[in-house]
Structure 1
Amino acid sequence: MAVDPIPPITLPPIQDPVQEGDWLRQGLQQWLNQEFIPEGINATIAERAAQIFVRQRLEGENDLGSLVIAIVTEMQAFDFRESFFSEFAVANAVSDLILESLGYETCCGQS
């Protein structure tokens, strides 16, 4: 049985970098705090991921898959020793937050 590949998801060009960064930072921090326990490091993780995301968007990257890979790559330099999370968990959470905001079911990849 053949399975159709999931088509790439392209975000519209960034309109308000501050608003987009704040939205992502707040949503990601809330997700991190709810996933295990609220920790101070979660705010730092969310801030760093939002910075990477917004910078990539300002540089013209609008492909969600490429944005997720950029977050994984750049967050590898982050010290996660004080956290329950990794760069992969953070990038996947960012992807889920964005997909949900676009109306996609994150469990199934369907809109």
Structure 2
Amino acid sequence: MIEPIPAVTLPPCSSPEQEAEWLRQALHTWLDREFLPEIVNDKIAERASSVYLRQRMEGENDVGCLLIAILTEMQGFDFSKSFYSEFAVANAVSDLLLNSLGIDTCCGQS
């Protein structure tokens, strides 16, 4: 029988603003490195980190739920001046969070 993939949970947040700032910087760096550095990348990273901050302050620790929240809220962002979409951004955030926990995002192994 196929086993479901277990949820990945972040540790409780003691400094949400610091985590959000780390995420903003890490995502901005990833966006600039993945394709071309663009001015809009800063706005994308800022928006994603603000969603993350709000979710963490509300007590959300599940990486999958954070991914869905960022995906949903980024749908309202204007990506017309970017190579990215809400899916790419949400997946990148998820990868960054998993990497911060020492989880290999390529194969799902730690």
TM-score (norm 1): 0.96
Distance 2:107 2:87 in 1: 19
Give structure 1 stretches of 5+ with no counterpart. none
Where does 1:1-111 land on structure 2 (aligned, <5 Å)?
A: 2-111=1-110
Percentage identity across paired residues of the two chains: 65
The Cα shift of 1:3 comes to 3.9
The Cα shift of 1:14 comes to 1.1
The Cα shift of 1:6 comes to 1.6
CA RMSD between the two structures: 0.8
4+ residue runs over 2 A deviation? 2-5
Give CA-to-partner distance per residue, 1:65-88, whole Å, 9 cap, x none: 000000000000000000000000
SS of the residue corresponding to residue 55 of structure 2 reads: helix
Give CA-to-partner distance per residue, 1:21-57, whole Å, 9 cap, x none: 1100000000000010000000000000000001001
Matched length:
110
The Cα shift of 1:13 comes to 1.4
Q: What letter corresponds to residue 80 of structure 2 in structure 1?
A: R
Residue 6 of structure 1 contacts residue 109 of structure 1 at CA under 8 Å; is this kept in 2?
A: no
SS of the residue corresponding to residue 29 of structure 2 reads: helix
Q: What letter corresponds to residue 39 of structure 1 in structure 2?
A: E
